Structure 1
Amino acid sequence: MKKAIVIGSGFSSLSASCYLAQAGFEVDLFEKNDTVGGRARQLIKDGFTFDIGPSWYWMPDIFEKFFGDFGKRTSDYYQLDKLNPAYKIFFTDDTITIGDCMDTICEEFERIEEGSSKHLRQFIEQAQENYDIAINKVVLRPGISPLELVTKETVLKVDQFFKTISQQVRKRFKNPKLISTLEFPVLFLGAKPSKTPSFYNFMNFADFGLGTWHPKGGMYEIIKAMKSLAESLGVTIHTDSPVSHILVSDGEVLGIRSKGKNHLADYVVSGADYHHSETLLDKKYRQYSEEYWNNKVYAPSSLLFYIGFDKKLENIEHHNLFFDTDFEKHAQEIYDVPQWPTDPLFYANFPSVTDSSMAPEGRETGFFLVPIAPGLEDTPELREQYYDLIMDRFEKLTQQSVKNSVIFKESFCVNDFVEQYNSFKGNAYGMANTLRQTAFLRPNLKSSKVKNLFFTGQLTVPGPGVPPSLISGKLVADLIIKEVKR
């Protein structure tokens, strides 16, 4: 029996572990923190439950496919509810509510801009075509060759790789609120809409076509499900086990060192931050220089607040976006001239609005996120300054007083991403999916310098986000299984 060691326990690592174990490998997984989940961990405090990381459940088909590969269904592990409304967007003088089906979304678009629903249906129809191509063709390829992007379907869409989401949206819609609403989903890909190929409008189908869901108990239920599945397949999970070195001899991986002890294996897969993973190797075995990493475009980092409120809040939904400031200016302050934003957009998540298990009765669980550039200075004073700024705006836009109802608040920012996840520059979502960082142009799943060493996760193929991370784990496992069969 071949032995594989997997570093990290986020979505991609757990995914890879499951596929390798199913294929007959003996699998040991090493996680530096005291619980599994990587960035998708959980905070439970005073009866309040918070997802520390991802909070959006999109592309339910990808989760079903993952569990289906093991003869399971998501319903074997957790209850999934479709949110209605999916989310609410606050502007200075109005709100847009995104419902749970195209008909209600079209009604809302018509309210804002007469005639826009016809354009929206055409736009989402094209987005659905792209989704089918992306999910069934493109993302299931391991990013080894440029030819992977060349299929009979993508050849017909080639112009969409050289035009941007921004151009495509603005050609059809004139109202700035609708433009912001349609450009928002690509932020999950970690790049500005004006730099993201229009082919990626498949994210709009994921949003409007497939809807926004919530696993009862929070996103951590997925991690618990994957942990349970992995262990049922025979994976041995070691928490509190940071890896200090990837062992290599004569260009071939031998295993890893954790807590001063060597653990040998035929294959090693690192789902930890890719840049950090390479620092675990002797320099001669690293594929990418510091200059390489410094020149890449990263998805944003985040300033996060986890807040327990002593009352139910008003005028909010489960997911809320606050777009009452200049979208483009904030994007420039993340990507073009990295700095703490002047007047940031932000996101607020209140899972207890739809899931009573996530807060004590009569209280509210609140998670606030401000996207920021990676690598910024992070101090308690700056965190406090931005807390005051967004809470003032939140109170004004939702027309209520909440600051005096805060039982506790905890924050998480650049320094925490670095310290807890070894995240390069404290990025939150990995490497952005720009045209020059798509598919084969991303860091490799397979090391070009060390035999039997592989990588998975959001800095490699296919990219940032939870569903792509599940796919990344499958891709890397498939590569290893093919190697063994040779």
Structure 2
Amino acid sequence: MQNNGHITNAKAHEIAVIGSGFSGMAAAAVLAKAGNKVTVFEKNDTVGGRARSFSEQGFVFDMGPSWYWMPDVYERFFELFGNSVSDFYDLKQLDPGFAVIFGNSEVMDIPADFNETCALFESIEPGSAAKLRKFIDEGEFKYEVGMRDMVYKPGHSVTEFFSFGLFQKALKIQLFKSFSAHARQYFRDPRLLALIEFPVLFLGAMPRDTPALYSLMNFAGLKQGTFYPIGGFGKVAEAFHQIAESQGVAFRTGQQIEKLEVSNGAIRQIRSNGMLKNVDAVIGSADYRHIESSLLDPEYQMYNESYWENRTFAPSSLLFYLGVNRKIDKLRHHNLFFDEDFEQHAIEIYKDKKWPSKPLFYVCCPSKTDPTVAPEGYENLFVLMPIATGLDDPESIRESYFTLLMDRLEKFAGVPVREHIILKKTYSVSDFKNDYNAYKGNAYGLANTLMQTAIFKPKMRSTKVSNLYYAGQLTVPGPGVPPSIISGQIAAQELLKSLN
């Protein structure tokens, strides 16, 4: 039965969702809207997954996502429930969208107005304005194909892509061409190349190992724009929580799932905190590998340890949350410190897998935009350094990098930031493992390499357990908040089909 384009059930089923990140909450809301009884089990004390936030001494820190791109994905999700973004939070477009800091403290502000961005490119590399327009036009086409058609497919088999002729478009969306090679057909200046390639490095893989399809992210960042939800990204997580609860979803925090009890090829019960609960189906939106290896008996696991060992994971991160009791005038809202070699850091993340020698890093200063996230006259800083997964991260190493990053930040800002820090927390590989059961402490999921795109990602539907589906950043479509939102919707729709 169809209802506003969504499949509904004649009978309510008892469905458990593991994990309350964006994919889990999106899946839960869609399932409950279709008339099912849905319970979300969350191991931590608060919902939101990586998009949790914490408050202390008048500061509000987003613990994870801070870039709000692809606003249409959020809006489309809210519309499923008769809502809009403005019902939940005030979304502001940033101008500049972000800043890139190069050597000698050279700052490149990326304007909100795309025509101004083209003029900026032209001032750096004559002839590049026209090339940028063409590059972004191609990215927009890929966005239309990728974000409207391709990513809403569940990735079960190659036949899905015949249905809307994706293979006919494969050359045009450049699925089989390297992002690095594609960018170098348009731009030569290393600053412009760094600007174009940074979304790939921070969320995916080496640019040379990433399909040129992902220039759709450049369209999102440079043409659609960079936005910010007033109150922080935690407000977005709150909105998803509210929508799910409005549909009747129950949330159980502090619930560690210990076992998925399988009988006759289907999960009949889940064990949480020593208690058993009967279920008709499960969506696993927590770490895919953790669910398979820790919650299922071996005969029900699709992927063995060597499979995961041979995947290319997006980076982990070393994070610092800092409360500063003064203003730092030279910082923008988003600041990318590219004052060291881009290629070297990428190699140390993806190839050599070691602590970086001269890292790039990112500083978010939301108090530039939002007075609610820091006391008046103070700054809220979120400092992120991408690192390889699986590294040991003792306090001594974290502190050595804190010194390195602060030396460079203070040199740029002309302010002794460390003297004014009144609140400091760190977060890294071991924390991602402890809080999210993240494989090797990954922060973003699987990298967007060709052999980990679409049908080549871990399957959304279990082939060993009939009523188990997966959502989140280790399955389709991939890493990032908008793909996670879409992932939850797809998983829910696929499960609903099986229930009818």
Q: Same fold (TM over 0.5)?
A: yes
Separation in 1 of the partners of 2:156 and 2:166?
Answer: 19
Q: After superposition, give the CA deviation of every residue in 1:429-481 in whole Å (9 maximum; x if it has no partner).
A: 00111000011111111111011011110000110000000000000001011
Separation in 2 of the partners of 1:154 and 1:354?
Answer: 43
Aligned to 1:35: 46
Aligned to 1:236: 250
Separation in 2 of the partners of 1:266 and 1:246?
Answer: 12
Aligned to 1:475: 490
Separation in 2 of the partners of 1:379 and 1:63?
Answer: 37
Aligned to 1:332: 347
Q: How does 1:360-379 map to 2 (within 5 A)?
A: 360-379=375-394
Is residue 2:222 matched to residue 1:208? Answer: yes
| % same residue | 47
Deviation (angstroms), 1:187: 2.9
Equivalent pair of 1:81/1:213 in contact (CA under 8 Å): yes
Is residue 2:158 matched to residue 1:136? Answer: no
Q: How does 1:87-166 map to 2 (within 5 A)?
A: 87-93=98-104, 94-150=106-162, 151-152=164-165, 154-158=167-171, 160-166=174-180
Deviation (angstroms), 1:153: 5.2
SS at match of 1:214: strand
Equivalent pair of 2:202/2:386 in contact (CA under 8 Å): no
Deviation (angstroms), 1:255: 2.7
Q: How does 1:335-346 map to 2 (within 5 A)?
A: 335-346=350-361
Separation in 1 of the partners of 2:55 and 2:119?
Answer: 39
Equivalent pair of 2:19/2:41 in contact (CA under 8 Å): yes
SS at match of 2:49: coil
Separation in 2 of the partners of 1:4 and 1:188?
Answer: 34
Q: After superposition, give the CA deviation of every residue in 1:107-143 in whole Å (9 maximum; x if it has no partner).
A: 2112211221110011001110110000111001000
SS at match of 2:75: helix
Q: How does 1:237-386 map to 2 (within 5 A)?
A: 237-278=251-292, 279-386=294-401
Is residue 2:74 matched to residue 1:74? Answer: no
Amino acid at match of 1:258: S
Q: After superposition, give the CA deviation of every residue in 1:214-259 in whole Å (9 maximum; x if it has no partner).
A: 0000001011111111111000100011111111112111131111
Gapped runs of 5+ residues in structure 2? 1-11
Amino acid at match of 2:61: F
Q: After superposition, give the CA deviation of every residue in 1:344-370 in whole Å (9 maximum; x if it has no partner).
A: 000000000010101000000000000
Aligned length: 485
Equivalent pair of 1:340/1:376 in contact (CA under 8 Å): yes
Deviation (angstroms), 1:171: 1.2
Q: After superposition, give the CA deviation of every residue in 1:241-281 in whole Å (9 maximum; x if it has no partner).
A: 11111111121111311111001110011111001111201
Amino acid at match of 1:117: A
Amino acid at match of 1:156: K
SS at match of 2:474: coil
Separation in 1 of the partners of 2:327 and 2:290?
Answer: 42
Runs of 4+ residues over 4 Å off in structure 1: none
Match of 1:49 among 53, 56, 60: 60
Deviation (angstroms), 1:189: 3.8
Is residue 2:192 matched to residue 1:181? Answer: no
Equivalent pair of 1:188/1:464 in contact (CA under 8 Å): no
Gapped runs of 5+ residues in structure 1? none
RMSD: 1.0
Aligned to 1:15: 26
Aligned to 2:435: 420
Deviation (angstroms), 1:147: 3.0
Separation in 2 of the partners of 1:30 and 1:328?
Answer: 41
Separation in 1 of the partners of 2:288 and 2:169?
Answer: 34
